[in-house]
């Protein structure tokens, strides 16, 4: 039991550390977008946006899922005591991605003029060339993160993410402002902003280098060393064998990374055209799509950031127990990942549903898109669950099954768009997204059932969180109703912002207390929270808040 609590604590702490870092990065990213738009204007922003997707695509190709593979294989080798094998996995992958990154950076810089022409504005060449050097450092940075994640040491990844994003945002805003201040024009301003990816990546790489220097390979490995007989250790792998393993595992992971954006691309290719086909004018159809993609879809990225953090923490944990052939422990860790996902994703989805209108007004000035936000709020739960299930499948080695479920889900999304957009507009597209993620989650769960050897305690995993979410939603709705009855005189957006803050505060407090009283959240799980966990658990225990 003590070992179970310790492993729970490691996973929960890692997921929370990464989750906080991801949310901070997302918030900084959202802020810089607004500020940059005001600094460089629409044309400068357009030139910047022409460069970034090209870089992002090449980054996916240059990393190709290798960091995820590194995390899995390092964890597997460490689990059986093969410390040197874990180090060798890291060294080979670092060499591989460094070479690939150099090639991709060279291609992007050398053919920047061609890429700019394809993007529609030759002036984008400066931004493309400014962002190209990022491919020299970011792939190596990703490999280092995967290495530490394999040891289930999440602090280096979290710190490097925050530092990378902070330096990137400062470079983007300060660089663009300085360039324009000295009269160099919009193309130079866009280039200065694009260079933020380079400076941010270099800062993140410096942070990871510091952690490697301070901890050392041996010290990073020591907490996770497992004493096992020598015969259980894996035979040494050649460089070619390691490369073959990395490629075999990373290809489906990279395909999954490319398939996920297809859901958004499906809307980009179909929604506006379907609306026009059924009588909407060009301007109206484009504006409707803007409500869907620019408002509702953007709000999905915050739960998605937390889901990705849970998946990153879950994968090496499952890989470790799977490598030890402990089926019962593997099942327990898979179910724990689902439980933590449900505990956070369910209230996030319902809370966004309840607060959709004030959130829409506070962020985007009016409530024109709140119906789509409400519908896509439901999609956040399934997309988050699907991410956790994918990590579970990847952890047990079923790497191609998540790709298949995502492809099927995307195909369902296409079909439902054609069926639902004509009668329901963007609400129909949002509904199609809900159904596609839900179906992909179902397929992943059915696949995972083959690896889950223990029964699912549905009360702790579904019914208690669902009941707490229901109580939270009722109290949040009541708090909003009371706010309106008080008739506090504030401007439209300020009023909506105050309602949003009130709703989030009431919802979080009620949900947390309900989880504690019902026994859905246990003392050791609260204690596992970074920094605040132990004193918070002690306070809750003194108040008698922990259930039976």
pLDDT for 130-185, tens place per residue? Answer: 989 999 998 889 889 888 888 888 888 889 989 998 999 999 889 888 988 887 88
Q: CB–CB of 272/289 below 8 Å?
A: yes
Residue 390 or residue 13, greater confidence: 390
Give me the mean pLDDT over the 60-88 stretch: 80
Query: How many of the other CB atoms lie within 10 Å of CB of 258?
Result: 15
What token pair was written down for 383?
């997309």
Res 231: pLDDT: 40
Whether pTM > 0.85 for this model: the answer is no
Is the dihedral angle over the CA atoms 100, 106, 112, 114 positive or is it negative?
Answer: negative
Residue 508 or residue 4, greater confidence: 508
Pure H helices in 111-238: 112-119, 125-131, 134-150, 155-181, 186-194, 196-221
Q: CB–CB of 428/422 below 8 Å?
A: yes
Which range among 91-105, 226-240, 289-303 shows the weakest confidence by mean pLDDT? 226-240
Please name which of 469, 196, 500 lies closest in space to residue 355, comparing C-alpha atoms: 500
CB neighbour list of residue 169: distance below 8 Å, 6 or more residues apart: 28, 29, 31, 32, 196, 200
Judged on CB neighbours under 10 Å (0-12, 13-18, 19+), 367 is middle
pLDDT band (50, 70, 90) for residue 472: very high
Q: Helix (H, G, I), strand (E, B), or coil: what is residue 301? A: helix
Please name which of 193, 138, 128, 178 lies closest in space to residue 160, comparing C-alpha atoms: 138
Question: CA 195, 212, 18 angle in degrees (round to 5)?
Answer: 65
Give me the mean pLDDT over the 435-445 stretch: 91
Give me the mean pLDDT over the 425-438 stretch: 91
Q: CB–CB of 210/143 below 8 Å?
A: no
Judged on CB neighbours under 10 Å (0-12, 13-18, 19+), 38 is exposed
CB neighbour list of residue 341: distance below 8 Å, 6 or more residues apart: 307, 310, 384, 385, 387, 388
Give the H/E segment covering residue 491: none
Position 5 pLDDT exceeds 80:
no
Q: CB–CB of 421/428 below 8 Å?
A: yes
Q: CB–CB of 203/212 below 8 Å?
A: no
Q: CB–CB of 220/208 below 8 Å?
A: no
For residue range 38-47, list pLDDT tens digits in order.
777 767 777 7
Q: How far apart are CA 409 and CA 323, in angstroms?
A: 30
Judged on CB neighbours under 10 Å (0-12, 13-18, 19+), 343 is buried
Q: What is the mean pLDDT of the chain?
A: 79
Position 87 pLDDT exceeds 70:
yes
Res 1: pLDDT: 44
**From residue 486, how far is each of 358, 473, 480, 482, 490 by CA, in Å?**
16, 20, 10, 6, 12
- In the DSSP assignment, the letter for residue 123 is G
Residue 200 or residue 263, greater confidence: 200
What token pair was written down for 401?
């099954």
Pure H helices in 182-281: 186-194, 196-221, 239-259, 262-277
Q: How far apart are CA 245 and CA 252, in angstroms?
A: 12
Pure H helices in 449-463: 458
For residue range 231-258, list pLDDT tens digits in order.
444 455 677 888 888 888 777 777 766 6
Would you kindly state where each structural domain of the chain is located, as residue ranges? 1-247, 260-349+364-454, 457-548
Q: How far apart are CA 287 and CA 415, in angstroms?
A: 23
pLDDT band (50, 70, 90) for residue 84: confident
Instruction: Report the helix count and the strand count for the chain, using DSSP H and E.
Output: 24, 0
Q: CB–CB of 67/142 below 8 Å?
A: yes
Query: How many of the other CB atoms lie within 10 Å of CB of 489?
Result: 6
Give me the mean pLDDT over the 206-217 stretch: 81
Position 376 pLDDT exceeds 50:
yes
Q: How far apart are CA 364 and CA 294, in angstroms?
A: 9
Q: CB–CB of 266/409 below 8 Å?
A: no
Q: How far apart are CA 353 and CA 473, in angstroms?
A: 9
Q: Which of 127-136, 145-154, 309-318, 475-484 has the highest mean pLDDT?
A: 127-136
């Amino acid at each position: 039991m003590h070992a179970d609590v310790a492993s729970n604590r490691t996973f929960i702490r890692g997921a929370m550390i990464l989750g906080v870092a991801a949310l901070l990065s997302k918030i900084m990213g959202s802020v810089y977008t607004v500020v940059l738009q005001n600094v460089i204007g629409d044309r400068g922003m357009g030139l910047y946006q022409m460069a970034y997707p090209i870089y992002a695509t090449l980054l996916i190709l240059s990393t190709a899922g290798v960091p995820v593979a590194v995390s899995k294989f390092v964890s597997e080798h460490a689990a059986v005591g093969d410390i040197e094998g874990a180090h060798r996995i890291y060294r080979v992958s670092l060499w591989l991605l460094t070479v690939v990154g150099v090639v991709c950076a060279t291609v992007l810089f050398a053919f920047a003029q061609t890429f700019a022409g394809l993007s529609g504005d030759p002036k984008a060449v400066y931004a493309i060339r400014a962002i190209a050097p990022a491919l020299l450092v970011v792939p190596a940075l990703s490999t280092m993160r995967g290495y530490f994640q394999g040891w289930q040491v999440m602090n280096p990844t979290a710190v490097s993410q925050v530092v990378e994003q902070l330096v990137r945002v400062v470079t983007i805003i300060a660089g663009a402002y300085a360039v324009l201040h000295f009269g160099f024009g919009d193309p130079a301003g866009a280039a200065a902003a694009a260079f933020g990816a380079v400076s941010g990546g270099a800062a993140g790489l410096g942070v990871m280098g510091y952690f490697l220097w301070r901890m050392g390979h041996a010290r990073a490995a020591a907490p996770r060393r497992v004493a096992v007989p020598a015969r259980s250790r894996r035979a040494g792998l050649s460089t070619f064998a390691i490369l073959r393993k990395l490629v075999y595992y990373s290809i489906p992971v990279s395909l999954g990374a490319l398939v996920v954006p297809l859901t958004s691309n499906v809307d980009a290719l179909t929604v506006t055209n379907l609306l026009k086909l059924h009588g909407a004018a060009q301007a109206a159809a484009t504006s409707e799509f803007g409500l869907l993609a620019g408002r509702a879809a953007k709000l999905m990225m915050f739960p998605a950031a937390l889901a990705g953090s849970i998946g990153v923490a879950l994968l090496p944990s499952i890989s470790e127990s799977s490598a030890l052939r402990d089926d019962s422990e593997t099942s327990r860790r898979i179910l724990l990942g689902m439980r933590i996902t449900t505990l956070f994703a369910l209230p996030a989805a319902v809370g966004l549903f309840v607060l959709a209108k004030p959130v829409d007004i506070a962020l985007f000035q009016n409530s024109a898109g709140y119906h789509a936000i409400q519908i896509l709020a439901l999609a956040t739960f399934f997309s988050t669950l699907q991410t956790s299930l994918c990590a579970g499948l990847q952890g047990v080695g079923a790497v191609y099954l998540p790709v298949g479920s995502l492809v099927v889900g995307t195909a369902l999304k296409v079909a439902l768009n054609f069926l639902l957009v004509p009668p329901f507009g963007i609400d129909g597209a949002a509904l199609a997204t809900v159904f596609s993620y839900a179906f992909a989650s179902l397929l992943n769960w059915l696949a995972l059932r083959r690896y889950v050897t223990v029964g699912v305690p549905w009360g702790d995993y579904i019914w208690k969180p669902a009941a707490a979410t229901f109580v939270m939603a009722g109290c949040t709705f009541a708090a909003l109703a009371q706010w309106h009855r008080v008739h506090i005189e504030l401007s439209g957006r300020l009023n909506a912002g105050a309602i949003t803050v009130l709703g989030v505060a009431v919802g979080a407090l009620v949900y947390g207390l309900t989880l504690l009283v019902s026994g859905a959240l246990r003392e050791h799980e609260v204690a596992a929270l970074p920094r605040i966990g132990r004193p918070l658990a002690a306070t809750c225990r003194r108040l008698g808040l922990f259930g039976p």
